[in-house]
Amino acid sequence: MRRVVVLGSTGSVGTQTLDVIERLHGRSTEGVERFRVVGLAAGHWSPVLEGQVERWGPDAVAVFAPAEVEKRTDLQLIHGSDALSQLIDVTEPDVVVLATPGLVGLPACLVALRRGKTVAIANKETLVSAGAIVTRAAAEHGGTILPIDSEHCAIWQCLRGERIEEVAQLVLTSSGGAFRDTPTEDLEMATPEQALRHPTWSMGPKITIDSATLMNKGLEIIEASWLFNVPAPRVALALHRQSIVHALVVFADGSVKAQLAVPDMRLPIAAALLDPHHVDLDLPRLAIAELGALTFEPVDERRYPAVALARAAAAAGGLHPAVLNAANEVAVDRFLRREVRFTQITALVAATLDRYQEDGAEVEELFAVDAWARETCRTLQI
CATH of the domain at 62: 3.40.50.720
Q: Is 128 found in the same domain as 36?
A: yes
Q: Is 141 found in the same domain as 64?
A: yes
Confirm whether 270 is domain-assigned.
no
Q: 5: helix, coil or strand?
A: strand
DSSP 322-381: HHHHHHHHHHHHHHHTTSS-TTHHHHHHHHHHHH------SHHHHHHHHHHHHHHHHH--
Q: Is 333 found in the same domain as 225?
A: no
Confirm whether 268 is domain-assigned.
no
pLDDT at position 301 = 79
Looking at the structure of the chain, the number of domains it has is 3
Strand partners, 251: 167
Beta-carbon contacts of 327 under 8 Å, excluding residues fewer than 6 positions away, are: 348, 349, 352, 353, 373, 374, 376, 377
Q: Is 132 found in the same domain as 82?
A: yes
Q: What is the pTM of this model?
A: 0.92
Domain enclosing residue 77, as ranges: 2-147
Q: Is 328 found in the same domain as 213?
A: no
Confirm whether 344 is domain-assigned.
yes
Q: Is 110 found in the same domain as 15?
A: yes
Closest among 374, 362, 348, 378 to 319, alpha carbons compared: 362
**What are the C-alpha distances in Å from 136 to residues 114, 224, 269, 322, 368?**
10, 15, 24, 17, 20
Backbone angles phi, psi at 90, to 5 degrees: -75, -40
Give the span between the Cα atoms of 215 and 225, in whole angstroms: 16
- What one-letter code names the amino acid at 109? C
pLDDT at position 290 = 87
Averaged over successive runs of 10 residues, the pLDDT of the chain (382 residues) comes to 95 95 80 88 93 95 74 78 94 96 93 97 93 96 95 96 96 91 90 85 80 95 96 96 95 97 94 91 91 92 92 94 96 96 97 88 85 96 87
pLDDT at position 158 = 97
How would you classify the pairing of strands 144-147 and 118-121?
Answer: parallel
pLDDT at position 197 = 84
pLDDT at position 33 = 74
Q: Say what the alpha-carbon torsion angle 37, 38, 42, 46 is, to the nearest 10 degrees.
A: 70
Lateral strand order in the sheet of 256-260: 235-239, 167-174, 245-251, 256-260
The residue among 121, 147, 173 that closes a domain is 147
Q: Is 217 found in the same domain as 191?
A: yes
pLDDT at position 382 = 84
pLDDT at position 34 = 86
306 close to 237: Cβ distance less than 8 angstroms: no
pLDDT at position 66 = 65
- What one-letter code names the amino acid at 116? G
Q: Is 126 found in the same domain as 15?
A: yes
Length of the chain: 382
Q: Is 209 found in the same domain as 107?
A: no
Confirm whether 333 is domain-assigned.
yes
Confirm whether 103 is domain-assigned.
yes
